[in-house]
Amino acid sequence: MRRDSLSRPIRLALLHELLTPGRTLFDYGCGRGDDIAQLARVGFDADGWDPHHRPNVTPTAAAVVNLGYVVNVIEDPLERARTLQSAWKLAESVLVVSARLEDERDEAHVAPLQDGWVTRRGTFQKFFSHDELGGWIEGTLQSQPVAAGLGVYYVFRDAGERELYLSSRFRRPISLPRRRASDAAFEQHRDLLQPLMDFVSIRGRLPDAREIANGDELVDAFGSLRRAFRVVLVVSDEAGWERVRRERSVDLLVHLALARFHGRPRWSDLPDALQRDVRAFFPNYTKACGQADKLLFATGNPDAIRLAARASMVGKLTPTGLYVHASALHEVPALLRVYEGCARALVGTVEETTLVKLHRDEAKISYLHYPDFDKDPHPALQQSVVCDLLEQRVRMMSYRSRTNPPILHRKELFVSDRYPLREKFARLTAAEEKAGLFVSPDTIGTRDGWTAACRKAGVDLQGHRLLRSRQPQAADDSTRVEKSPTENPPKSPT
């Protein structure tokens, strides 16, 4: 099997900044070596071994070791476990393990064999459920893995590195407070002060001089980092920096709440950076963990979830949940961030997520993929990944073959006020309301129902513009809703 792009586990390791140009990679069971060839071309120190295609390469230790879709093709369970253990021995920092999931089994897998299937080509495939894979890794290595994505897990050698990775997942993007004045001292040392401002925007506190590359230079120039930052405060919005501090303290609280899923570390086991964060934002670690526990336990209170959903300043509220665009998820109340984080602890990063549904009527989080959300005025649902928090189960449903899939309306309600296309979406919604297209919300949640409503109103869509087409016509049988053979399609958040 050859690939023109990087494999999904490698893409996730790059996305999560576990694989960087300065870290070595060894691909254990690399096949034809497509991943290592592509990484090497852009400057990564990458090598790999495969029993068939690269048997003469000696497996060597590396910071990151990838065991990509290898264990699922090993028929013998004992050999499967030994392969995982062999890859783990090589991992100096993190082992990336991936396997094919049950949802990927199709008609090409013709006969059961032991705990897997034989394909038409006579090859073997073992399909895991997502949670089964995590449990098998933990049982085999006696080390708790972290879900990176569906069917992909990270196993960290050092608990401190694991905590730094987990904390980074819940740090919301924040831009630097705007400058509001000019100052000679700032202009003279602008380049020297920029790393300090970047650090404070990321962590919400002043660094130790050893935490930034030019810390000693700043101390020499200003006497201390605190005095250096006073120069920044003279020319920028001090209230903005205080907002950064508050938001970073909430980010840390969210991380500490969700750390219980992977075993919250003792104070002495926290990396120095996280210890400094706790000291900056809370009286002590015990009180920080106490506040985090209150937040985590509140996610099990349906009334608290419903109240937080109603209080959210972003997202579209429906009777069953709050729908939020992925880019605005960090703007929901802290309780809902922890609520969603419980699902992320279970499933990791769900790639290509467009909207996240925070269910109000049951303990579930849904990750929904709507291709061309920006370009299509009413994009159709292509895939959903539903995390059941009570049963600790993940279910994936594809809508790619549906001829009448659910679609979206009122897209501006899902995004934040800062979303670049929000006004464009809102203008279309206003035109559609004026044309009377939303008078029967129960019938327009699917592509066919929406098409029938437009035909009846005598309008057409050209991009995000509504145009008059012809005289209104009566609705016909195209308003009927297609149903899945196994279940009703989910209601669109119309």
Three-state SS string over the chain comes to CCCCCCCHHHHHHHHCCCCCCCCCEEEECCCCCHHHHHHHHCCCCEEEEECCCECCCCCCCEEEEEEECCHHHCCCHHHHHHHHHHHHHHEEEEEEEECCEHHHCCCCEEEEECCEEEECCCCEECCECHHHHHHHHHHHHCCCCEEEECCEEEEECCHHHHHHHHHHHCCCCCCCCCECCCCHHHHHCHHHHHHHHHHHHHHCCCCCHHHCCCHHHHHHHHCCHHHHHHHHHHHECHHHHHHHHHHHHHHHHHHHHHHHHHCCCCHHHCCHHHHHHHHHHCCCHHHHHHHHHHHHHHCCCHHHHHHHHHHCCCCEECCCEEEEEHHHHHHCCHHHHHHHHHHHHHHCECCCCCEEEEECCCCEEEEEECCCCCCCCCCECCEEEEEECCCCEEEEEECCCCCCCEECCCHHHCCCCCCCCHHHHHHHHHHHHHCCCCCCHHHCCEHHHHHHHHHHHCEEEECCEEEECCCCCCCCHHHCCCCCCCCCCCCCCC
CA distance 370 to 355: 8
Check residue 481 and give its pLDDT: 36
Check residue 285 and give its pLDDT: 97
CA distance 155 to 158: 9
CB 96 within 8 A of CB 148: yes
Looking at the whole model, is its pTM more than 0.75? yes
Side-chain-side CA neighbours of residue 233 (13 Å)? 12
Check residue 488 and give its pLDDT: 47
- In the CATH scheme, what is the code of domain 8-157? 3.40.50.150
Q: Token pair of 34, please?
A: 């497509």
Check residue 107 and give its pLDDT: 64
CB 31 within 8 A of CB 50: yes
Sheet containing strand 393-398, strands side by side: 316-317, 321-325, 355-359, 364-369, 383-388, 393-398
Q: Where are the domains of the chain?
A: 8-157, 168-172+245-298, 184-236, 306-398
**Span 214-229, pLDDT tens digits:** 999 999 999 999 999 9
| Rama region for 236: left / alpha / beta (φ>0; ψ in -120 to 50; rest) | beta
Check residue 480 and give its pLDDT: 37
Helices 272-281 & 159-169 angle (0-180, nearest 10): 50
CA distance 51 to 373: 43
CB 265 within 8 A of CB 292: no
Ranges of residues in the chain whose predicted pLDDT is under 50:
475-488
Check residue 144 and give its pLDDT: 93
Check residue 494 and give its pLDDT: 64
CA distance 452 to 469: 13
Check residue 112 and give its pLDDT: 73
Q: Token pair of 54, please?
A: 């690269």
Side-chain-side CA neighbours of residue 222 (13 Å)? 24
- For 124-154, b/e burial (b = at least 16 CB within 10 A) is bbbbbebeebbebbeebbeebbbbbbbbbbb
CA distance 173 to 328: 10
